[in-house]
Structure 1
């Protein structure tokens, strides 16, 4: 059936819940916000109003529409055996030119820890570049995001793997079952990470700071290129970890927060549950009114130009 795009977008959380997933998902603000359903929302937003089609079954929703030079689809699937897990698959097919087709494929597994209320997402993304309809070059990445029961992102891990060339038949996995597809994607990623070319991790320390660590392949070895603490952007709240200045933000002295600054920082977040979670984090993990960050005292600091670090007090 063809649906009203705006109306469907506003109701997407309820549509996913109607698949029979655990009601506890709804209690976590990460589910209601774009943290979990952002890619799905984006697919719907970009759809031409006149041809977006939605098909619903007991445990599955399929969204599909044609574009000028391809096709876009999304599927949300809840496996009958487990209400604490569901999958979001997005696929964008594009005919780039007469010799080149591209498929951007993403499979995200969303898992709820029923005991703690925490949510973990793991996304396996692949770009299939099909050359002359025969050979397929595949770029694969893996991203994990961890949210506590207050919907606050506290860890993010990203890995990028070497490009691989396969016969076009490898794309058969795109139509396999979701468990099989997830396993197939794992097969592209060496358990020993021999194919790894880049890795990064971001871990929240204070409510507005995070430890950022990156490594890149160099001379067949993974070498740490960046290990520092950075301030998080508060422009859109602190529920998710956004770095000021992008991934490689500016390493500088991060002063303590005054009590007033702490309250202003927390109150910039709209969601009351997230605000409560930020206060708990500050009280139980790192109190930012008592803890600063001085890169000159950081024995583990690794940045490209240590001598250029700005220090302001």
Structure 2
């Protein structure tokens, strides 16, 4: 079968389409004919050997797939690897039925990014009615969904950040009340100004460095910052427990991998979001449907922050 394979770590030039053996499903697995596979920022880190988890080469990357099984079931699934391929071995416990009315791009978008957004908003940051919520990278896959999920949970004000006017306009169209450029010198002041001069209750953050530090400074007493990535690749300053105590703040981390210890919650979350997509309450932003033969361009566009929403690969092309 055709698949994207990495045989050495490096830039986009190391991803190449090759002929590789079909995967052999183990107990509890089934073979899926892949219609689309998701492309995530984490894939670019994995390609460079800079991801939070270690990997061994050679490797077929890709952690999200949607397609059909031999018995005709349409499933979306998260896999440890192997998604950038015509076929993938998926674990039934990590697979979700895809209802009518949810296309392939949306089905994939609700996996790593959708489930992350759902867990951040509802379980980690615990957004409550009346909260003010900052969503960084609000035009991206997680952010674009988190803006809408926070609004659906009753957030009184959603403040988006995004790096270009076009991305900020997209965030506003998804329901954000205000949009801020994260490169603003005094981001703390900009976030508070966007909240009517008041500090904010919740920040969903995946950039790192000064963005994390200045977002933490913008939190009101009892505020919560949920940290789920470091796209800027710069560590924020160390958080002082005494500084947290002074304002009764909570800083938490989240990695979707740990949520798979609770498959029943993930199944509930996926079904809930899929139903919202099907009836129009939740909008998935397509970010590019790339032929698998153009996987390098997909990685270049994603790493260059030229994309919005959900990127996918089409293994048939």
Q: Which of the five TM-score ranges fits, normalised by the shorter chain?
A: under 0.3
Structure with the larger RCO, 1 or 2 (CA within 8 Å, 6+ apart)? 2
Q: Larger % of helix: which?
A: 2
Structure holding more strand per residue: 1
What TM-score do the two structures reach when normalised by structure 1?
0.23
Whose radius of gyration is greater, 1 or 2? 1
